[in-house]
Amino acid sequence: MSNQIYNIKVATANGNLKQLESYKGNVLLIVNVASHCGFTPQYQGLEQLNLTYRERGLRVLGFPCNDFGAQEPGTLADIEQFCTINYGVTFELMDKVHCIGENKHPLYQWLTEHATPADDVKWNFEKFLISRDGALIERYSSKVTPDDVNLVRAIENAL
């Protein structure tokens, strides 16, 4: 049951489908991101987590999402350029997804069904921490910054 996440396919930034199983054995931090949000500066902290823990097996996956306040209106090329220029992002950005509504991506269906609380994503920059074997460890609200001691401790424990 816990590794059902690995059956989900996501579109990469270049439009190719990628099975999440390709990340098996890594710890995942999945984040719905937006370029025009009050939480956008969290990109910097997410990149720091990527730089600090990538070699130990953390994979930060950013999923651009325009569901909340239309704060991610650009094309994927626009988003990648913005993230690179403003925050030096090197972690993987995926294709845009819907986190809520009738077109909710299967990944976000799985995440929100297995999370506590098991309800819809509330805003940009919610974070989901996934173990090396595909189990959901914890869900973090948008207000939890990437350098939050509890998030960092959970990442270190998962690694």
Instruction: List residues with catalytic annotation.
Output: 37
Rg from Cα positions in the chain: 14
Contact 121, 100 (CB under 8 A): yes
Q: How many helices (DSSP H) and strands (DSSP E) are in the chain? A: 4, 7
d(CA 64, CA 66): 7
Residue listed under structure tokens 């816990």 = 2
Angle at the Cα of 97 (from 116 to 36), degrees rounded to 5?
A: 95
Handedness of CA 147, 149, 155, 159 (dihedral sign): positive
Q: Which two tokens stand for residue 122?
A: 């509330």
Contact 113, 104 (CB under 8 A): no
